[in-house]
């Protein structure tokens, strides 16, 4: 049931979460994540519950190997399989 719900949101998910207060919160989280990755000198990361890839896309810009895991196949289809390792699975 959860998968169906997120499948139905997939096309507009990124746009909806990049508005208003949610956008502000995501950007704060992203800065903290990027800082930690730089401090740890990571080369690969796993984005659990990746959705349509907000964090994955930013991590990929840092030239990291990114594995995206999500239970919504439609969310994963918003990402390019050429750029990411995609895993359709419950978390």
- Classified as helix, coil or strand, 78 is coil
**Per-domain residue ranges of the chain:** 2-88
Give the side-chain half-sphere CA count within 13 A for 65: 4
Q: How confident is the model at residue 1 (pLDDT cuts 50, 70, 90)?
A: low
Model pTM score: 0.81
From the candidate CATH numbers 3.30.1540.20, 3.40.50.150, 3.40.50.300, 3.40.630.10, the one assigned to the domain spanning 2-88: 3.40.50.150
**Among residues 48, 56, 51, 50, which one has the least CA distance to residue 91?**
48
Query: pLDDT for 50-78, tens place per residue?
Result: 998 999 999 999 999 999 999 999 999 98
Instruction: Count Cα atoms within 13 angstroms, Cβ side, for 22.
Output: 8
Mean pLDDT of 11-32: 82
User: Residue 51 has what DSSP assignment?
Assistant: T
Determine contact, residues 51/75, Cβ cutoff 8 Å: yes
Contacts with 25 (C-beta within 8 Å, 6 or more apart), sequence order: none
Q: Has residue 28 got a pLDDT over 70?
A: yes
């Amino acid at each position: 049931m959860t998968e169906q719900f997120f499948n139905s949101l997939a096309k507009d998910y990124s746009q909806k979460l990049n508005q208003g207060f949610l956008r502000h919160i995501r950007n704060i989280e992203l800065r903290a994540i990027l800082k930690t990755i730089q401090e740890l000198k990571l080369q690969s990361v796993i984005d659990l519950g990746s959705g349509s890839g907000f964090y994955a896309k930013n991590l990929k810009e840092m030239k990291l190997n990114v594995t995206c895991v999500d239970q919504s196949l439609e969310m994963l289809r918003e990402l390019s399989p050429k750029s990411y390792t995609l895993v359709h699975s419950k978390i």
